[in-house]
């Protein structure tokens, strides 16, 4: 039995990352939509367990969560998912050979956008990655375009999630971030391409 377990862990490690102990595409992340207070879909379904099968979870007949990509670094993984217009990132760590979801974040809740979700375009895609002291997310937010503020503002914003804040469960309150405001001309082109505009 022990040999079989060791062999299974070895195969999982080879397939999904040098230190990973789980298959990101078929996994119970141990998180419910109700645990993600900023997740847009939570207003429709307050208690849906996030369990992927073949990289997908059907939330209702119209909306599903799909795994877009994952990044492994040693015994840690970042799993990027999409649900309708929301982008979610799960930080999972293998502890004593067992996966533990340490953080589950709605990327859009940290992006300065009047549209309450980030935009994923070829030149400015939604990204996730690791740095020395934690992990980061990067996404494009667009705000403005209202009668009070007719000009659009595009910010390709990076949010940082230090492991220390993750362990203390303090990532819900505006994590450290870095702004990268795009030139007005570039922003206006993006707005036009995305079909954003006043009615």
pLDDT of residue 185: 95
Alpha-carbon distance of 14 to 9, in angstroms, equals 9
pLDDT of residue 11: 46
pLDDT of residue 8: 45
pTM tops 0.95, yes or no? no
DSSP structural state of residue 166: H
Which of 22, 48, 178 lies closest to 101, judged by CA?
A: 22
Alpha-carbon distance of 189 to 133, in angstroms, equals 36
For residue 147, what are the contacts with CB-CB under 8 A and spacing of at least 6? 198
Token pair, residue 8, equals 């299974």
Task: Return averaged pLDDT per consecutive 10 residues of the chain, 199 residues in all.
Answer: 44 58 97 74 69 94 92 97 89 96 84 71 96 95 78 92 90 82 94 78
């Amino acid at each position: 039995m022990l040999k079989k377990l060791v062999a299974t862990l070895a195969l999982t490690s080879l397939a999904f990352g040098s230190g990973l102990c789980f298959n990101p595409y078929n996994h119970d992340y141990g998180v419910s939509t109700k645990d993600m207070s900023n997740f847009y879909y939570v207003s429709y379904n307050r208690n849906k367990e996030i369990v992927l099968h073949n990289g997908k979870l059907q939330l209702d007949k119209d909306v599903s969560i799909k795994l877009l990509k994952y990044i492994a670094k040693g015994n840690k993984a970042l799993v990027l998912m999409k649900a309708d217009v929301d982008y979610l990132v799960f930080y999972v760590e293998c502890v004593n050979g067992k996966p533990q979801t340490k953080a589950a974040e709605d990327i859009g809740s940290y992006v300065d956008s009047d549209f309450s979700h980030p935009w994923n375009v070829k030149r400015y895609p939604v990204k996730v990655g690791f740095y020395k002291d934690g992990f980061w997310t990067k996404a494009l937010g667009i705000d403005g375009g209202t009668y009070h503020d007719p000009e659009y503002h595009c910010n390709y914003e990076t949010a940082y999630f230090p492991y220390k804040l993750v362990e203390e469960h303090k990532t819900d309150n505006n994590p450290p971030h870095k702004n990268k405001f795009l030139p007005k001309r570039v922003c206006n082109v993006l707005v036009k391409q995305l079909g954003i505009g006043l009615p």
